[in-house]
Amino acid sequence: MILTKTRALVMRVVSVSLICMGFAQVAPAGMIGTSQLLENEARAESLTRIEMLLARDDVGQQFVALGVEPALVLERLNAMTTEELLALEHRFDEQVAGGDALAIIGTVFLVLLILELVGVTDIFKSI
Range of the domain at 72: 35-94
Helix (H) or strand (E) holding 64: helix 57-66
Count CB neighbours of 85 within 10 A. 20
Residue 19 forms part of a structural domain: no
N- to C-terminal Cα distance for the chain?
A: 119
Count CB neighbours of 1 within 10 A. 5
Residue 126 banded pLDDT, cuts 50, 70, 90: low
Cα–Cα nearest to 50, from 70, 82, 77, 68: 77
Rounded Cα gap, residues 100 and 95, in angstroms: 9
pTM: 0.49
Predicted local distance difference test score (pLDDT) of residue 119: 77
For the residues 61-66, what does the mean pLDDT come to? 85
Residue 97 banded pLDDT, cuts 50, 70, 90: low
Task: For residue range 10-59, list pLDDT tens digits in order.
Answer: 999 998 888 877 776 777 778 888 888 888 888 888 888 888 888 888 88
| Rounded (10°) CA dihedral 11, 14, 15, 19 | 180
Residue 114 forms part of a structural domain: no
Residue 80 forms part of a structural domain: yes
For the residues 74-84, what does the mean pLDDT come to? 86
Residue 6 forms part of a structural domain: no
Rounded Cα gap, residues 45 and 55, in angstroms: 15
Q: How many domains does the chain have?
A: 1
